Amino acid sequence: MITTQVHDKFKVFVGQLAPDQTIGKLAEEVAGFAKSAGVAAKSIGVEYLESHRRLLITLGYRDDTPGYSIQLHSVKLGKIDTQAGSFERLEKAMGEAAGKLENIICHELYLTEGDEFVMVFMTHGE
């Protein structure tokens, strides 16, 4: 039921990208909060603040339903020409990345300073 996905609570996390340009230890912080607070994670938002060289992650959640464990996964999709007018290569890379994970709840994308797409998946379970 879609009503179980509806949420209106949010937690913000900010940190630096890992040396490999993935979300690094921010993944552990987000998962740790969900676990310690006992919340039901419903969505993520991800924004790379290029001028500050910081990554901002928002976690949307509910605290009126039983919580569960989550994990965040970063998958580098490579450099993809967004001026070409076609996003088939990006869609294919996203599908291939998703095919390597189970129990995906939601996803987000960010673009690094080097124009590399990185996809962040939130999955259920440990």
Mean pLDDT of 73-99: 87
**Whole-number pLDDT of residue 56:** 97
Determine the structural domain holding residue 98 and report its residue range: 2-124
CB neighbours of residue 107 within 10 Å: 19
CB neighbours of residue 71 within 10 Å: 18
What whole-number distance in Å separates Cα of residue 12 and Cα of residue 65? 20
Instruction: Check whether 32 has a pLDDT greater than 90.
Output: yes
Beta bridge partners of 93: none
Q: List Cβ neighbours of 97 (8 Å cut-off, separation of 6 or more).
A: 75, 77, 119, 121
**Whole-number pLDDT of residue 126:** 65
Instruction: Check whether 89 has a pLDDT greater than 90.
Output: no
Q: How far is CA 119 from the centre of its chain?
A: 7
Give the total number of structural domains in the chain: 1
What whole-number distance in Å separates Cα of residue 56 and Cα of residue 26? 9
